[in-house]
């Protein structure tokens, strides 16, 4: 290698993406290449800290459900359900029959709208070389119209159960504030029936994309439920053999802070990063997807294990089909329970809850005093947990594609991060790429 007049050697590069687009929240990418080797790959998160865990202290035990929803405008229900579950555990609450199905149904709505947002508006434009869904719609109007109609269907499910799609108002400790009439839910059946085929076609369309190779060996972590594809509850399991009740989360997974991020990172106790989200769920629980979904997976050539994060768009699509089927089953069986909630008296103690948010495992822990005052709260969102594997993927991918020019490398690196549908608002904040080639 020869030095150039600025002292930079061939093979030294620096790539900066100051604002990472089409992610929820604000962050940046920074890549440093020295002598043809990637020596640093960072996802910088500088979303302003909002201190939720501090704000919650001293509040009443019925309040975290509505307060923690405000952590994320895309997956508020996951927060509401995780908080309710943890607080119900502290208070020893037993929910009435039927409430669990409705919680699963409202989470199906959130998975549908959040996954459609990512598939069509945030992720698909990358594969086809468009800057945004607006440009995508100019060439593929029917695909975008179908995707928006499916997204609206997810939002409609949330609206019927929760009043509005963003920060819905019905989940509470002990159940729901309000239960819909059967006719309000069955009114959605024709659209759900349409959605099953429309979504399957959308998945087939996505399967025609070209997927760059990238398969890194990470431990994968998700909830597992013995009877169904885990969403609103279950045990924490991993590809590394972890199998724990949700209240033992902290024994296995550790949060720590790095200077370049206002989002805490997570590692397993061995110090290695781990992956949560659609790929982890599919790889750990895929056998519990419906026969229709498994047949569609086989049709598009997705085996029982999918380790390529670029293909997460397909797994999200399969999960939407599954959520649509689940929603139909729950709606058809729905009879309004006798009462919307059980009265919950506060108790002193610690309770924990875990939910599969669209982006992956979300864990809550609360400590209450005997009068129901929140003494402490700890919330671990999926994007915080995935920061380690996003950076490891960046490093691995960039190392193999240093032949790309800066513009292409930048786009691909952004896509590597968008594969995880990072919610930076959740994890705290926003994203930028810098590639530094020295």
- Give the interface with other proteins as residue ranges (CB under 8 A): 19-26, 46-55, 57, 59-60, 63, 66-67, 70-74, 76, 113, 117, 121, 125, 131-134, 137, 141, 144-145, 148-149, 151-152, 155, 163-167, 169-170, 172, 177-178, 256-259, 262, 264, 340, 376, 414, 423, 425, 430
Specify the residue, 46 or 249, whose C-beta has the smaller distance to other proteins: 46
Exposure of 1 by Cβ count < 10 A (0-12 exposed, 13-18 middle, 19+ buried)?
Answer: exposed
CB of 242 to other proteins, least distance (A): 24
CB of 113 to other proteins, least distance (A): 8
What are phi and psi for residue 266, nearest 5 degrees?
-130, 150
CA dihedral 96, 100, 105, 109 (to 10 degrees): 110
Specify the residue, 259 or 287, whose C-beta has the smaller distance to other proteins: 259
What does DSSP say about strands 274-275 and 253-256: parallel, antiparallel, or unpaired? unpaired
User: Which residue in the block uniquely carries the two structure tokens 């009265």?
Assistant: 343
CB of 312 to other proteins, least distance (A): 19
Angle, in degrees to the nearest 10, between helices 406-418 and 382-400: 150
Specify the residue, 85 or 170, whose C-beta has the smaller distance to other proteins: 170
Specify the residue, 151 or 281, whose C-beta has the smaller distance to other proteins: 151
The total number of residues written for the chain in this structure: 438
CB of 24 to other proteins, least distance (A): 5
What does DSSP say about strands 26-34 and 374-380: parallel, antiparallel, or unpaired? unpaired
d(Cα 383, Cα 360) in Å, to the nearest integer? 8
User: Which residue in the block uniquely carries the two structure tokens 């006719």?
Assistant: 183
Specify the residue, 259 or 271, whose C-beta has the smaller distance to other proteins: 259
Burial pattern 212-238, b for ≥16 Cβ within 10 A else e, equals: bebeeebbbbbbbbeebbbbbbbbbbb
CB of 344 to other proteins, least distance (A): 15
* Residue 118: Cβ within 10 Å count: 26
Q: Are 406 and 29 in contact (CB under 8 A)?
A: no
Positive/negative CA dihedral, 390, 395, 399, 403? positive
Specify the residue, 30 or 151, whose C-beta has the smaller distance to other proteins: 151
Eight-state DSSP code of residue 88: H
Specify the residue, 218 or 310, whose C-beta has the smaller distance to other proteins: 310
| Bridge partner residues of 60 (DSSP) | 373
CB of 410 to other proteins, least distance (A): 10
Specify the residue, 330 or 423, whose C-beta has the smaller distance to other proteins: 423
CB of 205 to other proteins, least distance (A): 18
d(Cα 406, Cα 14) in Å, to the nearest integer? 9
Specify the residue, 297 or 323, whose C-beta has the smaller distance to other proteins: 323
What are phi and psi for residue 336, nearest 5 degrees?
-60, 125
* Residue 58: Cβ within 10 Å count: 10
d(Cα 22, Cα 264) in Å, to the nearest integer? 22
Specify the residue, 25 or 286, whose C-beta has the smaller distance to other proteins: 25
């Amino acid at each position: 290698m020869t030095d150039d007049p600025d002292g930079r050697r061939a093979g030294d590069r620096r790539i900066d993406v100051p604002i990472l687009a089409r992610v929820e929240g604000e962050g940046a990418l920074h890549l440093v290449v020295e002598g043809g080797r990637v020596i640093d790959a960072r996802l910088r998160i500088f979303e302003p800290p909002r201190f939720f865990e501090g704000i919650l202290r001293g509040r009443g035990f019925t309040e975290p459900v509505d307060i923690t929803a405000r952590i994320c405008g895309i997956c508020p229900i996951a927060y509401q359900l995780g908080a309710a579950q943890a607080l119900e555990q502290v208070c020893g609450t037993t929910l009435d029959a039927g409430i669990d199905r409705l919680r699963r149904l409202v989470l199906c709505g959130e998975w549908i709208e959040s996954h459609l947002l990512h598939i069509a508006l945030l992720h698909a434009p990358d594969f086809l070389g468009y800057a945004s869904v607006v440009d995508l719609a100019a060439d593929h109007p029917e695909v975008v119209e179908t995707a928006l109609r499916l997204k609206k269907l997810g939002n409609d499910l949330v609206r019927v159960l929760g009043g509005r799609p963003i920060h819905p108002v019905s989940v509470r400790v002990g159940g729901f504030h309000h239960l819909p009439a059967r006719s309000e839910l069955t009114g959605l059946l024709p659209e759900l029936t349409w959605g099953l085929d429309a979504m399957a076609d959308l998945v087939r369309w996505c399967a025609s994309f070209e997927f760059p190779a990238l398969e890194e060996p990470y431990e994968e972590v998700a909830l597992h439920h013995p009877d169904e594809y885990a969403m609103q509850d279950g045990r924490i399991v991993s590809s590394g053999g972890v199998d724990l009740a949700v209240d033992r989360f902290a024994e296995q997974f550790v949060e720590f802070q790095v200077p370049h991020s206002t989002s805490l990172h997570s590692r397993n106790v061995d110090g290695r990063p781990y992956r949560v989200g659609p790929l982890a769920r599919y790889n750990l629980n895929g056998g519990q997807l419906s026969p229709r979904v498994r047949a569609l997976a086989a049709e598009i050539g997705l085996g029982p294990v999918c380790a390529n994060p670029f293909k997460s768009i397909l797994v999200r699509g399969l999960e939407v089909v599954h959520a649509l089927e689940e929603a139909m089953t729950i709606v058809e069986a729905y009879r309004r329970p006798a009462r919307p909630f059980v009265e919950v008296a506060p108790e002193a103690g610690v309770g924990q809850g875990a939910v599969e948010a669209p982006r992956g495992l979300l864990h809550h822990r609360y400590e209450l005093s005997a009068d129901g005052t929140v003494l402490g709260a700890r919330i671990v969102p999926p994007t915080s947990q995935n920061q380690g594997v996003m950076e490891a993927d960046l490093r691995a991918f960039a190392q193999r594609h240093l032949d790309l020019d800066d513009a292409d490398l930048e786009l691909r690196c952004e896509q590597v991060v968008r594969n995880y549908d990072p919610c930076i608002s959740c994890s705290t904040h926003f994203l930028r790429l810098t590639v530094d080639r020295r």
